[in-house]
A and B are shown apart, each in its own frame.
Chain A
Amino acid sequence: MKFLPYILKHLRRNWIRTGSTILGMAVCIFLFCTLRTFLRAMDDARTLGNVTRLVTRHAVSLVYNVPLSYEGQIAQVPGVKRVAISSWFGGSLPAKKESQDAQKGAGHGPDFSNFFTNLAVEDEPYFAMHPEFKVPDEEMKAFREDLRGCIIGRGLARQFGWKAGDTFFLESFIPPYRRRQGPFEFVVRGIYDADKVREPAADDRVMYFHYKYLYESTGQRVGAGLYVVELQEPRQAATVAAAIDRTFQNSEAETKSETEAAFRADFIAMIGNLALLLNSIGLAVIFTILLVTANTMSMAVRERRTEIAVLKTLGFTSRQVLGLVLAEAFTIGALGGAIGLGLSVLIIRAMTKAPGVSGFINGFPNFGLHWSVTSQGLAIALLLGLLAGLMPAVSAYRARITEMLRQV
């Protein structure tokens, strides 16, 4: 510890160079932590998901609806306990949110900056098979009695400041879900809490409304986006999924049934090999910063050859000199890592609230800077510092006093 002031003073010697190196390291750790947070959120989205439920969708693409007539047939498949329609509405608030003047709201285009997930569901079977969503009985009753009613998650209510009785409008960008008379009007009838202990993937930033409202408002022409199927026995997932798909084999709308986790994985895979891309970016940044920091440390040591000779003349051992150079590099790593982590915390928090991206980000379960990512980020920063300081430190270790003094 007694050498710390000496190390810090040396770092301040060329503060522009030290500062820019620390900043570079900070940006590297920030990028690493942010990218890892995304990858972790994607992994969670893949692995989390209730195994007692299947998702049955159109075999070709999610874009196509599944006929409503399938619901009864799916319910007949052995091993199926319940079936519920769930259609992704894709609704956005009009550019100017209206709760009092409905006609005004109809005149504006959708505001994608406040996008959130909204699903048209068959309320009774859907909520029965999703016990992780806790809704007070009286609110659920009010919801069922109002065709325009909706249930929103606690997070969504917090985000928009909505409470029971509030009215808002949503307009879908999906053509079959749009109607001539303008956006759909909804009334908040209940707010649910997501039980993350029971179901880690449970999201409290989703809005649920009556499928019947969607069906009737669009002239009874739309099918089901997908069916959520509750199993009697989780171990039968593969068998039941195969049985459902077999039922609709060679029909006009063949189905693809899979567990919720597999469905999430498929959904994310539509983005492409994002994991590879993000990992590649992360590695490239880390390698670049390693070179930059190593160069900084080499320059710092080269400029101080006389000082190193003086330290050794005064009685510092080669190991102590090596330790001082490594400690300097380590300090750069630690400071850069700390700043990078701080930046990550701020930016990740900001992203969950920022218009435009928050809707996408909040769709991931457990999105946030996890301690394991933080530890990895800090470890990489310290390791980068040490690696960058290694060569100059060894050079200082090996340097002979007389040779260094002669070069002055």
Chain B
Amino acid sequence: MSAGPVRQPAADAIVDVRSVRKVYHRDAAEITVLDGINLQVPTGEFVALMGPSGSGKTTLLNLIAGIDRPTSGEVIVAGTDVGRLSESELARWRSRSVGFIFQFYNLIPVLTAEENVELPLLLTSLPKKQRRERALTALKVVGLADRARHYPRQLSGGQEQRVAIARAIVADPAVLVADEPTGDLDAKSAEEILGLMESLNRDFGKTIVMVTHDPRAAERAHTQRHLEKGVLKA
């Protein structure tokens, strides 16, 4: 398996976005979603991306997570220029390097919490016993070891999001990206999730890039960056 093109990121930046443009085509119209974005996120940083709807926050997050490609420019994450990887190389890279947290949790309803968390490990060569052990460890980190055998429908929204976070960290990725992780939660659950993310950043050294609309959530991050009409404001 190819490790992908290794690029030198900006000093100490685990995420290095350079002059990125992203253009979508709708029929004959050309829509520029991101226009010349430059963003450096140092290792261990907790960054909140804010901005109005349609400003390009999620698109930028998707580029950093390697689930979309820039029209031009470079996105270097953990030393890899993700835009230059093939589809299958990119998939393997995602499984190792990035943990994704969705707004609506996106757990697989037919799998238990433990099986959901174990899912990314199915792509590794770990034996079943070790996979289960690591999944349980991840559930312990998010405080849900006692709910390992529960199905998503048996969990509250906050608990589901914690399981989703456990799934994001189980393969021990360097970077966590979160797309409005508290957007579907009540205030109390949102607070718990933000506390958990802070803990992952502080105690486990995870670099976190979070998209949010919520100013209170953004305050928990070390750095806040604002996007407007596809341009990153200072």
Contact = CB atoms under 8 A, between A and B. Distances in A.
A306 interface: yes
Is the contact region of chain B dominated by helix, strand, or loop, or is it mixed? Answer: helix
B88 A317 contact: yes
Contacts of B120: 314-315
Given A315-B94, A316-B91, A318-B88, A13 B110 contact: yes
B87 A313 contact: no
A3 interface: yes
Interface string A1-39: 011011001101100000000000000000000000000
Given A306-B106, A307-B108, A314 B67 contact: no
A289 B92 CA distance: 37
A312 B93 CA distance: 11
A271 interface: no
A402 B104 CA distance: 15
Given A3-B122, A402-B62, A314 B100 contact: yes
A362 to B, nearest CB: 49
Contacts of B123: 314-316, 320
Interface in B142-171: 167, 171
Contact of B87 (A311, A318, A402): A318
B195 interface: no
A319 interface: yes
Interface size, A (range): 20 to 34
A310 B91 contact: no
A319 B94 contact: no
A408 interface: yes
B114 to A, nearest CB: 12
Given A9-B110, A307-B108, A312 B88 contact: no
Interface size, B (range): 20 to 34
B128 A401 contact: no
A92 B31 CA distance: 87
Interface string A301-334: 0000011011111111111100000000000000
Interface string A274-317: 00000000000000000000000000000000110111111111
Contacts of B174: none
Contacts of B67: 312-313, 401-402
Nearest to A315: B95
B111 interface: yes
Contacts of B109: 13
B37 to A, nearest CB: 17
Contacts of A402: 62, 67-68
B88 A315 contact: no
Nearest to B120: A314
A408 B104 contact: yes
Contact of A6 (B87, B104, B111): B111
B153 to A, nearest CB: 12
B62 A9 contact: no
Nearest to B168: A314
By Cβ-Cβ distance, the 4 closest A-B pairs, closest first, are: A315-B95, A317-B91, A9-B110, A401-B67
Interface of B: 62, 65, 67-68, 87-88, 91-96, 100, 102, 104, 106, 108-111, 115, 119-120, 122-123, 128, 167, 171
Given A6-B122, A402-B67, A408-B104, 14 more contacts: A6-B115, A12-B110, A310-B108, A311-B119, A312-B67, A315-B91, A315-B96, A315-B171, A318-B87, A320-B91, A320-B123, A401-B68, A402-B62, A402-B68
6 contacts: A9-B115, A306-B106, A313-B67, A314-B95, A316-B95, A318-B91
